[in-house]
Chains A and B, each alone.
Chain A
Amino acid sequence: MQKKRRMWGWAFVMPQLIGLIIFALIPLGMSFFISFHSWDGIAASMGFVGIKNYINQFFDADFVKALINTLLYSVMYIPINMVFALLLALAVQKIKGKTLYRLFYFMPVVTGSVSVGVIWTWILNGDFGLMNSILSFFGINGPKWLTDPSMVLTSIVIVSVWWNVGYNMVLLLAGLQNIPEVYYEAAQIDGANKWNTFRHITLPMLSPTLFFVLINTIISSFQVFDQAFVMTHGGPMKASYTLVYHIYQNAFIDFKMGRACASSMILFAIVLIITLAQMYGSKRWVNYEQ
Chain B
Amino acid sequence: MNSKRKKKISTGRILLYIVLSLGAVLMVMPFAWTVLSSLKNMGQTFAIPMKILPDPFVWKNYPESLAALPFGRAYFNSFYIAFVVVAIQLITASMAGYAFGKLKFRGHNVLFILFLATMMIPSQVTMIPLFIIMKNLGLLGTHMSLILPASLFNAFGVFLMRQFIAALPDELEEAAIIDGASIPQIFIKIILPLIKPSMAAFGIFVFLGQWNSFLYPLIFLNKTESFTVPLLLNFFKGTYATDYPLLMAGTVISIVPVLLVYLFFQKQIIQGIAITGMKN
Stretch in A56-64, A113-121, A145-153, A180-188 touching the partner: A113-121
Expressed in whole angstroms, the Cα–Cα distance for A208 and B279 within the complex equals: 11
Q: B113 contacts the other chain (Cβ, under 8 Å)?
A: no
Residues of A within 8 A of B114 (CB): 20
For A19, the chain B residues whose CB sits under 8 A away are: 92, 149, 151-154
Contact B30 A128 (CB under 8 A): no
Rounded to whole angstroms, the CA-CA distance of A121 and B111 in the bound complex is 45
- Number of A residues contacting the other chain (C-beta, 8 Å)? 97
Answer yes or no: B60 CB below 8 A from chain A CBs.
no
- Give chain B interface residues in 16-63, CB to chain A under 8 Å: 16-17, 19-20, 23-24, 26-31, 33-34, 37, 45-46, 48-50
CB closest residue in chain B, given A21 = B153
Interface string of B206-242 (1 = CB under 8 A from A): 0010011011001100000000011101100100000
Closest chain B CB from A221 CB (angstroms): 12
Q: Does A15 contact B (CB under 8 A)?
A: yes
Pick from B16, B183, B273: contact of A91, CB under 8 Å: B16
**A34 close to B (CB within 8 Å):** yes
A6-B105, A105-B23, A264-B122 given as contacts; is B115 within 8 A of A20 (CB)?
yes
Surface stretch bound by B, among A47-55, A74-82, A197-205, A246-254: A246-254
B-contacting residues, A164-196, CB 8 Å: 166-167, 170-171, 173-175, 178
B199 within 8 A of A: no
Bits for B102-144, please: 1 = Cβ < 8 Å to A, else 0.
0111101001001100101111111111111100000000000
> How many residues on chain B are close to A (CB under 8 Å)?
99
Given A23-B126, A115-B251, A171-B273 in contact, is the A28-B212 Cβ separation under 8 Å? no
- Least CB distance from A235 to B in Å reads 13
Q: Which of A13, A111, A128, A257 is the one whose CB lies under 8 Å from B96?
A: A13
Q: How far is the CA of A212 from the CA of B149 in the complex (A)?
A: 25
Residue of A nearest to B254 (CB): A115
A240-261 with Cβ < 8 A to chain B:
244, 247-248, 251-252, 257, 260-261
A265 at interface, CB cutoff 8 A: yes
Instruction: Given A20-B115, A27-B133, verify A107-B215 contact (CB < 8 Å).
Output: no
Docked-complex contact B27 and A105, CB < 8 angstroms: yes
- CB neighbours (8 Å) of A27 from chain B are 125-126, 128-130, 133
Q: Which of chain B's residues have a CB closer than 8 A to the CB of A30?
A: 128-129, 132-133
A25 on interface, CB distance cutoff 8 Å? yes
B251 in contact with A118 (CB, 8 Å): yes
**B270 partner residues in chain A, CB cutoff 8 A:** 102-103, 106, 170
With A118-B248, A271-B122 already in contact, 5 other A-B pairs whose C-beta atoms are closer than 8 Å: A10-B99, A30-B129, A113-B212, A114-B231, A252-B219
A residues lining the B interface (CB < 8 Å):
1, 4-13, 15-20, 22-28, 30-31, 34, 41, 88, 91-92, 95-96, 99-115, 117-123, 125, 128, 130, 133, 162, 166-167, 170-171, 173-175, 178, 208-209, 212-213, 216, 219, 222-223, 225-226, 229-230, 244, 247-248, 251-252, 257, 260-261, 264-265, 267-268, 271-272, 275
